[in-house]
Structure 1
Amino acid sequence: MPADLLLVSPPFLSGSLPSLALLHYPVVVKPDQFWGGIDGFWSTFMIRVGTPTQFHRVVVSTASQQTWTVYELGCKSNLTITNKLDGACNDDRGYTYNDTRSTSWKRRGYYRLWLESSLDMGGNGLYGYDNVGLGGVGEEGPTIKNCTVGTLISSDFWLGHLGVNPKPTNFTAFSEPSPSFMTYAFEQKMIPSVSFGYTAGVRYREEGTFLGSLTLGGYDASRFIPNELSFGFSPDNERDLVVGVVGITANGATKKNLNLMGAREQFTMFIDSTIAEIWLPSDICDLVAKAFNLKYNNATQLYLVDDLLHDTLLAENASITFSLGQRAVTNKTVDITLPYAAFDLTAKPPFRGLNTSSRYFPIRRGNQEKQFVFGRTFLQEAYLIVDWERQNFSVSQLTWQYGAPQNITAIYSNEYAHLLPKPVVLKKPLGTGAIIGIAIGGGFSLAMVVCGIIWCICRKRRQKRKAKRNAQYATQGDGTGKDATTEKFQQVGDTPASPTTKEEETTNVIPKAELPADSVRDGKEESLPSPTVEVENNERQIFEMPGDFPVRQEAGGRQLTEKESMVVRERIYNGVDPNETPAVSPLTEEPPSRRPPLLASDVTMFNRSMPSMTNVSPTTPRTPRDGAFLEAGDTFFQPPVPRGGRGVADDTLLSPISPLEGSTDTSRRRFSYES
């Protein structure tokens, strides 16, 4: 059944709360005990149309929003001036309607019968507005004024119908839509919601004849087996009650679970009680025909059944099961099983051009999805509940209990939610698994509570024993005599000291407090005195040496000469001899680098010309590694050797001193000038 419904059963409605008087009870439309039609025998319902009342036997249409009646011209024996009415046709078609006899009729005009156009069914009808009531004589139900009524002549629709779809009818784009019968009934407070429950009825059951059942604003819970699957409306306005078919199987005495889906995994079908047959895909029709040895008649496009095949299928006790679901939403499915008796229908002329009555198997071949339809044949074994307001519906397997009392349950609109004491939602009883789960969970919770109580009791007992032991330890130091350490403290004064030292040896260090330790002894030694003695506990003072930072040694700061700069560059680019002795130590003081003043006696006069030197270039070293020995034995910063006294010519006093004169040091040959 649809989910999230406000459902109320009749005993609830009999309550004494004031708000219940404002609630409306569902309308149960009584069947008229008649079985009619040319495509089978169908349970019909009596309606009243016009003023004065004209009675009509009709079927229920879940796809139509209008009330259809057979026009009187549809049963004229000859279309002449006399227009004699064919009585047999009038009775067989559920009585005809004459608009000229109704004073409440408001003519609208002729329009096309758009319903079932996808199945190549149609015709034209005279439309207008008139009063429509439910029930026959003695069973009158509510009457709605100005309902949309269509009259028909076409034999494609042999009986009229009562449309339970709430969609309005649009005749033109320049006029307001005409409300449906269901909408009027709800707006006039005749039903509790725009909803219904319906099954077509059967007369082949051994238990007895079950007439059709129609409940407006609710459903009869005694007619079906509940399930948890609910379908949502299709977005197609012309095909709203669509179900997914996820499986079709055939069973019988000689076949078990025969798959009739073929290569298909799923397809959709529209539930429409306007027609009688079940329209299936052509490939599935071929599989059904093969399973039951059906023969297709091309002239009538029907699967006709002769007497021999009929007896065979009865002996086979064949059945077909349709598995319905919505795989895109849920994995739940519901199975609707139809026995062969549900397919054992009799067609009469002029249905599908037949000249004589014949049994037929009511499946039709569809070539496109909009032609796949579940008709009244399917609703013989299925109960349909539709809630138009909440846009969901359910399909359930019928239950067969002859004479069972009705259980009419209301589906209340959201407008009445505030009037109900509380929403009564039909719930399925808990399953065995749920009951076992609840029992296990409850037992586990109880065990946890018991364990917690036991733990608290044990913890409290341990705390009591611990407090008792602490009290015993405290009385050993405070009882009849005082502790030796306490006595010593009192003798010394406020300054505590070790009990084994003299008063003059006391210290400011407080000894650590210790509890007396009683070892396990023989019972005979309990009376012997055993005073507590502690080892002397004078802590040693910590002494530290004074910490002096060493004097920081720094190298003498001066600016490097050009020569020293070049030496540094030589170290960077040519490398450093690991065996050489560093010229300057950062830990030794460097003697003053300032030269002593030059005296006149230190100057020696030489010839103007440079002394003759062989193979010596003042700028080119003798060997590639001469520059690496510049630091070893360098006498550049040493005082010069005293030279001879004065007496040279005056013109040679200003001659430069050659760095190569009288020197054999090869490390200085690289430089041509010095400052």
Structure 2
Amino acid sequence: MASFLERLLLLPSALLALSASYAYASALEIRDDNSTAVPAPISFSPDQSWLGIDGSWSTFTLRVGTPAQSVKVLVSFASYQTWVVLPQGCQAATDEDACAQTRGETFDNNTSSTFDYVGIYDLWIERNLGYDGNAIYGYDVVGLGLNGQGGPTLKNTTVGALAVEDFYLGMFGVNPKPTNFTSFNEGSPSYITQLKQQNYIPSVSFGYTAGAKYRFSGVLASLTLGGYDSSRFVDNNITFQFAADNSRDLVVAIQSINTPSQIESSPNPTELLPNPIYAYIDSTVPQIWLPTEACQVFENEFGLVYDNTTELYLVNDTLHQALLDRDANVTFQFGKGSSGASVQVTLPYAAFDLEVQPPYPNIVNTTRYFPLRRAMNSTQYTLGRTFLQEAYISVDWESATFNVSQVLWQESQVQNLVPIVPISEKGGTGSGYPGTDTAGNSDTSSNSLSGGAIAGIAVGTVAGVVIIALAALFFWRRKKRNSQKSIDEKTSAAPGNGPALARQSSRNVYPKAELEGNSTPFMEGRGLLSAHTSTPRSAPGTPHSVVSPASGGYFPGGAVSTPSPTTPSGEGTHSSTQSNRLFSPLSETASEADSRERHIYEMPGDMPVIREKDGKALSEKEALARRQMIYNGVDSASNSAAAVSEGVREPRRVSPEDVVQSSSQLRDPTLHRQFSFEMDSEQQ
């Protein structure tokens, strides 16, 4: 036994040494260099087109289906699918070919041999802004760029083919949320998620600016997947956290919106936003949605006129020339909260100088408009593509953070792609945003233990603690058994202390009644169950049996009601087969809470009539006092005094031999008895 215990105590040390050796061996393990290589981000180059019925926007080309059909789309932060326009979207147009060109070309799912039809579903996003519609959904092949540009091609990509005009162009969704057609447990991954899964990009992230046709000869949009282009913006060190609303996560606090004052005596800028607000940044929509109060300030400052029919601020030639002459700009200042550190993005008037054309709702002719929309509530506060002409945004979906900066305008720009490396990657310490270590390297990464080392040490430590605890338990139980054995030996050695005495002693110890659900033997003769009760243990209503739903222990419909163990249920709680409840496992005989007998007092109307040979019947009070004296041994003086005070005389005791017969003729004693207590003459 001693040698066994010694080996047992040495086991934790052996396990700890083994785990440590495994840990350090893991840290020194030679790995393939290719497995640690971080893929470079993808620069998705835009095409040379400027499309749209609500402005001129730089588009991107996708290859969809087999054989590949080229379509031009916009970028959507809210969408997690790829949207294309069906040929049916131009059937009502006079010139279908011209319509197809303005909509970025169409995609015919019937001619694609790889299109896997799923069904018709709602587009869902932007409903809070009044956008609506549905699409034919399926899975198909989607590639980035034109044929020969070398963009990645992914199979089984979720594609929505639409014909509605609320979304006039197709969309390339960069949101990583999966698409769930039938169950939340079987979501189809988004395109950007598949790029990360197939090791095309280092992380689920992107950098984007919408481009500006009015800058230089037209500056195209920029989209980087898995990182950002540091040559396109002015660096700042403010990183925003995602908002709680999953459908509106890229939210910033707009602290102020101002424009230079036109009053020479007042150089302070004019404030256009009465109160700070929180707004969602989304490239899916073109306009800027602000509170009605702010829109009214814009109206007064720039002379804008709201058109109720189109719900737009239409700009005629006179107003347009006045705005050109003023050449005003609008500065958005925003931060993490309504105050504190902030970032500024300035938009010139040219960013607001857009055109709207049919088939935009209620628009008959192409006309200029100011892309400002009245928001009815806070869920509509949105900064759309108009804002992103002058703003660059980089988003790391994995760390739920993003950065917004002012676009840096240079005629000759040299692209500089920076990967956003997630924390989970080897050597990665953060998102790699501007203001952080853009290489994603950690100064202390070389000194830290690997995951295998940490796991090995943890396993060894836990194993050592468990074995020590088991050894301590073994010794404690052994000591307890030895102590009990010693007591038993002393008891058996005492005179007259044999097994029979031990059994008798155990019968004289009455266990306390436990809570419901525990079964204990009870003493007979005191209103409790006997240890040898005839009621079977599986009887209905006991906690050891499964009561059928059809039995009396259930309410109709299967509802069960059982008294709580902590709730008093009254003295003499018992089980009853006639009840609709499940009670404690006691017999039908009422049991008192303290297991002691109690004296029984009957009501006055239950007293027997006691008669004496020549007396009258006792009153109820006298009978009660007499019964109390007989059964309880109590002679209440107060009762006797009360009887005397009430004038009740004591009954006169007359001896039988003192009785005088009232007739000279004696009665036949064999036929009659003089008194009830006389014996028959023959017996005398």
Q: TM-score of the superposition, structure 2-length normalised?
A: 0.57
Q: How does 1:79-478 map to 2 (within 5 A)?
A: 86-173=96-183, 176-205=186-215, 207-251=216-260, 254=263, 256-261=267-272, 263-264=274-275, 266-327=276-337, 331-418=340-427, 427=435
User: Quick one: structure 1 residues 276 and 253, their matched pair in 2 at CA, closer, same or farther if it must change by over 3 Å?
Assistant: same
Q: Quote the offset at 1:424 in angstroms.
A: 7.7
Q: Secondary structure at the match of 1:121?
A: coil
Contact 1:27 1:191 in 2 (8 A): yes
Contact 1:253 1:318 in 2 (8 A): no
Unaligned runs of 5+ in 1: 1-16, 79-83, 430-675
Q: Secondary structure at the match of 2:280?
A: strand
Counterpart CA distance in 2 for 1:343 and 1:169 is 35
**One-letter amino acid of the counterpart of residue 86, structure 1:** E
Counterpart CA distance in 2 for 1:303 and 1:380 is 19
Bigger mean CA deviation after superposition, 133-142 or 305-314: 133-142
Q: Which residue in 1 is equivalent to 2:71?
A: 56
Q: Which residue in 2 is equivalent to 1:27?
A: 42
Q: Secondary structure at the match of 2:301?
A: helix
Q: Secondary structure at the match of 1:285?
A: helix
**One-letter amino acid of the counterpart of residue 271, structure 2:** L
User: Quick one: structure 1 residues 423 and 339, their matched pair in 2 at CA, closer, same or farther if it must change by over 3 Å?
Assistant: closer
Counterpart CA distance in 1 for 2:170 and 2:261 is 37
User: Quick one: structure 1 residues 115 and 428, their matched pair in 2 at CA, closer, same or farther if it must change by over 3 Å?
Assistant: closer
RMSD: 2.2
**One-letter amino acid of the counterpart of residue 361, structure 1:** F
Q: Quote the offset at 1:71 in angstroms.
A: 1.0
% identity of equivalent residues:
47
Contact 2:260 2:270 in 1 (8 A): no
Counterpart CA distance in 1 for 2:185 and 2:436 is 48
Q: How does 1:514-525 map to 2 (within 5 A)?
A: none
Q: Secondary structure at the match of 2:426?
A: helix
Q: How does 1:634-649 map to 2 (within 5 A)?
A: none
Contact 1:252 1:316 in 2 (8 A): no
Counterpart CA distance in 2 for 1:262 and 1:336 is 15
Show CA shifts across 1:491-528 (max 9, x none): xxxxxxxxxxxxxxxxxxxxxxxxxxxxxxxxxxxxxx
Q: Which residue in 2 is equivalent to 1:624?
A: none
Show CA shifts across 1:557-603 (max 9, x none): xxxxxxxxxxxxxxxxxxxxxxxxxxxxxxxxxxxxxxxxxxxxxxx
**One-letter amino acid of the counterpart of residue 381, structure 1:** E
Q: Quote the offset at 1:297 in angstroms.
A: 0.4
Counterpart CA distance in 2 for 1:237 and 1:419 is 26
User: Quick one: structure 1 residues 168 and 342, their matched pair in 2 at CA, closer, same or farther if it must change by over 3 Å?
Assistant: same
Q: Which residue in 2 is equivalent to 1:650?
A: none
Counterpart CA distance in 1 for 2:193 and 2:140 is 15
Counterpart CA distance in 1 for 2:245 and 2:119 is 28
Q: Secondary structure at the match of 1:185?
A: helix
Counterpart CA distance in 1 for 2:92 and 2:411 is 42
Q: Quote the offset at 1:269 in angstroms.
A: 0.4
Q: Quote the offset at 1:85 in angstroms.
A: 7.5
User: Quick one: structure 1 residues 227 and 184, their matched pair in 2 at CA, closer, same or farther if it must change by over 3 Å?
Assistant: same
**One-letter amino acid of the counterpart of residue 24, structure 1:** P
Counterpart CA distance in 1 for 2:177 and 2:321 is 45
Contact 1:19 1:419 in 2 (8 A): no
User: Quick one: structure 1 residues 428 and 240, their matched pair in 2 at CA, closer, same or farther if it must change by over 3 Å?
Assistant: closer
Unaligned runs of 5+ in 2: 1-31, 438-684
Deviating 4+ runs (over 3 angstroms): 17-21, 252-263, 422-429
User: Quick one: structure 1 residues 314 and 54, their matched pair in 2 at CA, closer, same or farther if it must change by over 3 Å?
Assistant: same
Show CA shifts across 1:289-319 (max 9, x none): 1100000100000000111111111111111
1:42 aligns with 2:53: no
Q: Secondary structure at the match of 1:88?
A: helix
Q: How does 1:624-635 map to 2 (within 5 A)?
A: none
Q: How does 1:474-553 map to 2 (within 5 A)?
A: none
